[in-house]
Chains A and B, each alone.
Chain A
Amino acid sequence: EPEVTQTPSHQVTQMGQEVILRCVPISNHLYFYWYRQILGQKVEFLVSFYNNEISEKSEIFDDQFSVERPDGSNFTLKIRSTKLEDSAMYFCASSDPGYREDEKLFFGSGTQLSVL
């Protein structure tokens, strides 16, 4: 069964450093997302991406964050200057828009980001 893959599974970085989290969505999907979960909190939406542009973003997704689909297969999340509070599990997801009943998200297994 096709799956969403994320790399790396763990990333440790120093505060202020840039990180890029990588995802390969399911190949025929058209919508792509990033969500995150800070330990002990809810899974929260960051951004959705369709047709090579951001379709929606949350208030968390400020100027420090950016997304890119550089080559038609990868989908990346960049955090320009990491803060301690960016430490979280970051999930990539993709979906194939169709009937509303079919619009489930397929998630990757996540990248655990630790900012020291």
Chain B
Amino acid sequence: ILNVEQSPQSLHVQEGDSTNFTCSFPSSNFYALHWYRWETAKSPEALFVMTLNGDEKKKGRISATLNTKEGYSYLYIKGSQPEDSATYLCAFWSTGTASKLTFGTGTRLQVTL
């Protein structure tokens, strides 16, 4: 059983704060690490697909880093806005599986004015 963990479970920040979350995953049999953003009553939406050790990806105010050797990825949000409020899911894809993602528990972010 693959162990994918996320921390913190939930986070409450003020508008304008910068924040970050952690995803830890197995350091062996790595194929890819996905980040999804899931707003209430909507579909989970892909933010990043990370494949190479040392990858850094950015989309607007959101960025992510990847360390496959130690098995962790960080997601950063700079200058949080209320519309960033969502659950952020990471998902690990190991080699030898046909697109089977193993999800973490998610980090629920609430941004208030």
Q: A: which residues have CB within 8 A of B?
A: 3-4, 31, 33, 35, 42-45, 48, 50, 55-56, 58, 91, 95, 97, 100-110
Contacts and interface: CB of A to CB of B under 8 A. Distances in A.
A104 B51 CA distance: 12
Contact of A42 (B31, B99, B104): B104
Contacts of B93: 103
Given A43-B106, A103-B32, 18 more contacts: A3-B43, A4-B43, A42-B4, A42-B105, A42-B106, A45-B100, A45-B101, A50-B98, A56-B99, A95-B99, A100-B51, A101-B49, A104-B46, A105-B44, A106-B43, A107-B43, A109-B42, A109-B43
B102 interface: yes
Contacts of B43: 3-4, 91, 106-110
Given A42-B105, A43-B89, A103 B99 contact: yes
Interface of B: 4, 31-32, 34, 36, 41-46, 49, 51, 89, 91, 93, 97-106
Contacts of A33: 99
A97 B49 CA distance: 13
B99 A107 contact: no
A44 B89 CA distance: 12
Nearest to B48: A104
Contacts of B103: 35, 42-44
Contacts of B31: 100
Contacts of B97: 56
Could you say which of A35, A50, A95 has the most chain B C-beta atoms within 10 Å of its C-beta? A35
A34 to B, nearest CB: 11
B98 A56 contact: yes
A33 B99 CA distance: 9
B49 A48 contact: no
16 contacts: A35-B101, A35-B103, A42-B4, A43-B89, A45-B100, A45-B102, A91-B43, A103-B99, A104-B34, A104-B49, A105-B46, A106-B43, A107-B43, A108-B43, A109-B42, A109-B43
